[in-house]
């Protein structure tokens, strides 16, 4: 579903990646500074690779050779960054529908059901708990009918118990909507319970690309530097 074959230079940091990701959930795993967020930004069109190609589905969204560099709004990706930013002047319903492409799925009622926010739609953002904000941000990203959902440590700011409650909602996105997910995390438990495949990064390079089971069986190859 997603083919990444590019290099990206940012100051003294050099990223080089050449992987093909499947249609399920891919976890980008590794220490801080490994290049995980940079990869998401490149897919979304927020950072420009130095050279190479990025393909999402059957569309080339970036190619240095063909001089293709689609702007973010034409890449059809949903991006949930670390810092959830809902619009405070809009209620939940308007936040969720913001950016929806007319005539495209998914149905708002189906998304509200998946994230169990049907009773929150008329509330103001200030009335929401942290977990509810996370679910609304995820729902809003889905309403743009993305070809892939990019998640940059969306649960890093919530406690362990809340993470356990939110992860099943992401599994429902994969299972009920079939939306591919690329998920950045430092949490091994999240990878073990949620990912279909794992790309382990260290210092801008891929050191392992394997199924979740293979990653667990070969855990001694995972970089152990502190996040």
DSSP state of 97: H
Q: If DSSP codes are grouped into helix, strand and coil, which group holds residue 213? A: helix
Q: How many residues does the chain have?
A: 227
Looking at per-residue pLDDT, the higher value among 141 and 163 belongs to 141
* Residues 10-42 pLDDT 10s: 999 999 999 999 888 999 999 989 999 999 999
The backbone torsions φ and ψ at residue 97, rounded to the nearest 5 degrees and listed phi first, read -85, -10
Q: Is the pLDDT of residue 156 over 80?
A: no
> What's the CATH code, domain 2-221?
3.40.50.300
Sheet with 197-202: list strands edge to edge. 68-69, 59-63, 51-56, 2-10, 13-21, 205-211, 197-202, 25-29, 181-185, 148-152, 77-80
The pLDDT of residue 157 is 60
Average per-residue pLDDT in the chain? 87
- Highest mean pLDDT: which range of 45-59, 108-122, 168-182, 186-200: 45-59
Contact 39, 17 (CB under 8 A): yes
> Which of 45-54, 100-109, 142-151 is predicted most confidently?
45-54
pLDDT category of residue 129 using cuts at 50, 70 and 90:
confident
């Amino acid at each position: 579903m997603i083919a990444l074959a590019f290099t990206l230079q940012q100051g003294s940091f050099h990223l080089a990646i050449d992987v093909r990701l499947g249609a399920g959930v891919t976890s980008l795993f590794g220490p801080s500074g490994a290049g995980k967020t940079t990869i998401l930004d490149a897919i979304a069109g927020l950072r420009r690779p130095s050279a190479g190609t990025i393909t999402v589905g059957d569309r080339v969204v970036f190619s240095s050779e063909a001089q293709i560099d689609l702007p973010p709004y034409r890449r059809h990706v949903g991006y949930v960054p670390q810092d959830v930013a809902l619009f405070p002047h809009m209620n939940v319903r308007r936040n969720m529908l913001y950016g929806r492409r007319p005539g495209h799925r998914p149905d708002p009622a189906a998304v509200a059901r998946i994230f169990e926010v049907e009773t929150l739609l008329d509330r103001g953002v200030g009335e929401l708990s942290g977990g509810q904000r996370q679910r609304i941000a995820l729902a809003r990203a889905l309403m743009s009918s993305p070809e892939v959902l990019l998640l940059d440590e969306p649960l890093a700011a919530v406690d362990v118990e809340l993470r356990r409650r939110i992860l099943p909602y992401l599994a429902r996105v994969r299972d009920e909507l079939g939306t591919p997910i690329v998920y950045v995390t430092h949490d091994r438990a999240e990878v073990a319970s949620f990912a279909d495949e794992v790309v382990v990064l260290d210092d801008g390079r891929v050191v392992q690309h394997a199924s979740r089971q293979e990653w667990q069986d070969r855990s001694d190859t995972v970089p152990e530097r502190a996040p």
